[in-house]
Amino acid sequence: MAETGATAHTNPLRWLVVAIPYLWLFLFFAAPFFIIFKISLSDTAIAMPPYTPTFEGFGAIGDFFSQLDFENYGFLGEDPLYIDAYLSSLRIALISTLLLLLVGYPMALAMARAQASIRPTLMMMVILPFWTSFLIRVYAWIGILKPEGLLTLLFQTIGLMGPDDQVTIFRTDYAVFIGIVYSYLPFMVLPLYAALEKMDGTLLEAASDLGCPPWKAFWKITFPLSLPGVIAGALICFIPITGEFVIPDLLGGAETLMIGKTLWTEFFGNRDWPLASAVAVLLLLALVVPIVIFQNQQQKVG
């Protein structure tokens, strides 16, 4: 929008509208990243806060910098645990995103093709679970998946399993995938649905009129036009899943390595703040590219 009345006669107080959220986000969102970076270069200490050097006035500034080093990063590079956790996180996030697309796309398509009158209801039904707590939804799966849980009971009842057999997917990667797909499904379905719903129905009629069979029309018309939704949905899921903590912690097993869990353990378990910070910095670096793509896309939409 070009300059309009509101901007033509500027009141300096107007800039408070910009300044207040700007300063807030800068102080509480952007500035902490510099601190994380700084602390990731510090050493662990048994004190409060548990790292050295702490910042003690400007006189000590040279001293301060001389004590910073990349030791923690070196440590991360040496210990295969961390590298494995990174790769494993990316692998789990990638597979989960593909699974989400596989489940979410048909669902969004079915919603978009439903009668216009019931679409808002379907939409509300997708959003409703999202309003209930994430933790509760993950917790609900424990009771189902655990060896003496409801899934075992179901399989035993219908005779798929003998009375002494148990479902063994609790505390494995499979349980993690189920939990992730379950928790993130609304985030995948909504952008896909938004892209599919606004599509002009006469496009498919035109394709059909020009002799294109329905399945081909899907690949030539519907799918390419829904790509922005696919990308948005994939990014909205992929980025947070990479750093996911609750799901691998509650549903995953000891062998489920995810970087979010590692960070949590370093921080709360081992109280190694500098190392946790180094883990966070590297996780952030791994996600910079997808986050930038996500933001560009959001701005295009906005």
Partner 1 sequence: MAKSLGPVKRKFSPWTDPGAVPFIRFENITKRYGDFVAVNNLTLDIYEREFFSLLGPSGCGKTTLMRMLAGFEEPSEGRILLQGKDMSGVPPYRRPTNMMFQSYALFPHMTVEKNIAFGLQQDGLSKPDIAARVEEMLKLVKLESFARRKPAQLSGGQRQRVALARSLAKRPKVLLLDEPLGALDRKLREETQFELMDIQHTLGLTFLIVTHDQEEAMTVSDRIAVMDKGVIMQVATPAEIYEAPNSRYVADFIGDINILECAVTGNAGDCLRDGHPPVVRLVSNGLDIAVEQECPVTAGDKVGFAMRPEKVRISLDKPADTTVNTAHGEVWDIGYLGDFSIFLVKLEDGRILRAAQANVSRLVDRPITFGDSVWLTWPLDAGLVLTR
Partner 2 sequence: MKPQRFDATILTLCFAFLYIPIIILVVYSFNASRLVTVWGGFSLHWYQVMWSNEGLMDAAWVTARVGVLSATFGTILGTLAALTLTRFPRFPGRVAFTGMVYAPLVMPEVITGLSMLLLFVAMNIDRGFWTVTIAHTTFTMCYVAIVVQSRLITFDRSLEEAAQDLGCPPVKTFFAITLPLILPAIVSGWMLAFTLSLDDLVIASFTTGPGATTLPIKIYSQVRLGVTPEINAICTILIGLVTFGVIITSITTKRAEMRRIRDEHVAIRGIS
- Binding positions for partner 1, rule: CB under 8 A: 2-5, 8-9
Residues 38-57 binding partner 2 (CB under 8 A) are: 39, 49, 55
Residue 55 binds: one of partner 1, partner 2, none (C-beta under 5 to 8 A by kind): partner 2
Measured distance CA(88)–CA(82) in Å, rounded: 10
Interface positions, 5-34, toward partner 2 (CB under 8 A): 5-6, 9, 11, 14-15, 17-18, 20-22, 24-33
Q: Which part of the chain contacts partner 2 (CB under 8 A), choosing from 60-68, 79-87, 140-148, 163-171? A: 140-148
Query: How many other C-beta atoms can be found within 10 angstroms of the C-beta atom of residue 290?
Result: 15
Q: Is 65 in the site for partner 2 (CB under 8 A)?
A: no
For residues 74 to 103, the per-residue mask of contacts with partner 2, x marking binding by CB under 8 A and - elsewhere, is: -----------------------------x
- In 225-266, at which residue ranges do the beta strands (DSSP E only) sit? none
Q: Which residue has the tokens 């004590």?
A: 67
8 binds, among partner 1, partner 2, none (CB under 5 to 8 A by kind): partner 1
Q: How far is the CB of 60 from partner 2 (least distance, A)?
A: 15
> What's the min distance (Å) between Cβ of 62 and partner 2?
19
What distance separates the 2 farthest-apart alpha carbons in the chain?
A: 80
> Which residue in 90, 93, 108 sits closest to 181, CA to CA?
93
**Gap between the Cα atoms of 277 and 283, Å rounded:** 10
Instruction: Report helix, strand or coil for 51.
Output: strand
Kindly tell me which residue out of 76, 85, 146, 222 binds partner 2, with binding defined by CB under 8 A.
Answer: 146
Distance CA 239, CA 196 (A): 23
- Torsion, Cα of 82, 242, 44, 62 (10° steps): 110
Gap between the Cα atoms of 296 and 274, Å rounded: 32
Q: Which does 33 bind (CB under 5 to 8 A by kind): partner 1, partner 2, none?
A: partner 2
User: In the complex with partner 1, which residue's Cβ is closer, 10 or 67?
Assistant: 10
> Smallest gap, in angstroms, from Cβ of residue 13 to partner 1?
15
Among residues 102, 125, 160, 227, the one that binds partner 2 under rule CB under 8 A: 125
Reference 280, options 300, 252, 261, 254; nearest CA is: 261
